[in-house]
Structure 1
């Protein structure tokens, strides 16, 4: 969340126009999603082999919670929570490891990036009078 929220804060502090700040925030998240989903299968295989080598259990408390979110809310739930809980990279890795098709990852991450980009930029504009935004 820090990285995703940092873009709108920096954009507003630098005086970048509202829509440009939203666009750059969305582009930043989607560039991570495109890159990670492109190498996602190789990454998932690497993670699986690493876990087997270290003899770690297949499911941890965190992974069970993620699977519960996915089974209850689907890819939409993972995408919605990505900017605030998982980070764009983390959310994409999770979706890839859950074998979500790449196109579905892209679509859901795009609407999530747009939603959160507008929300965080609006909040940054609304609270721009605070000291953290001053030069």
Structure 2
């Protein structure tokens, strides 16, 4: 499937999907191995340590401290990695409602980690995006 760059088309066709479960952010020491029992959804190495995004149950079972219990919303439109303004428009909409978002752009889709207790509200806001005034919000 071809990727999309046009902001209006992206907003109109993003079709957000709330993934099951509660996701959390953990960190382990730089260079430390990922605990064998974990299957991280996301791993990112930084100078201070390695960030792992995992299901909360996995973090608890591994005895890892965690932060930001979040719901995961996948935007199912195949956005181009060089699309301009897509995540900005979404962040503006969620910020206006006081909802924080940690966005991850993967090869095929964009993924949004939002506070778990506000995930349904975030979904409703995203499902109502894509009208004629939306592209201005992210410009």
TM-score normalised by structure 1 residue count = 0.26
Which structure carries more strand by proportion? 2
Instruction: Give the greater-gyration-radius structure (CA).
Output: 1
Which structure carries more helix by proportion? 1
TM-score normalised by structure 2 residue count = 0.26
Bigger RCO (CA 8 Å, 6+ sep): 1
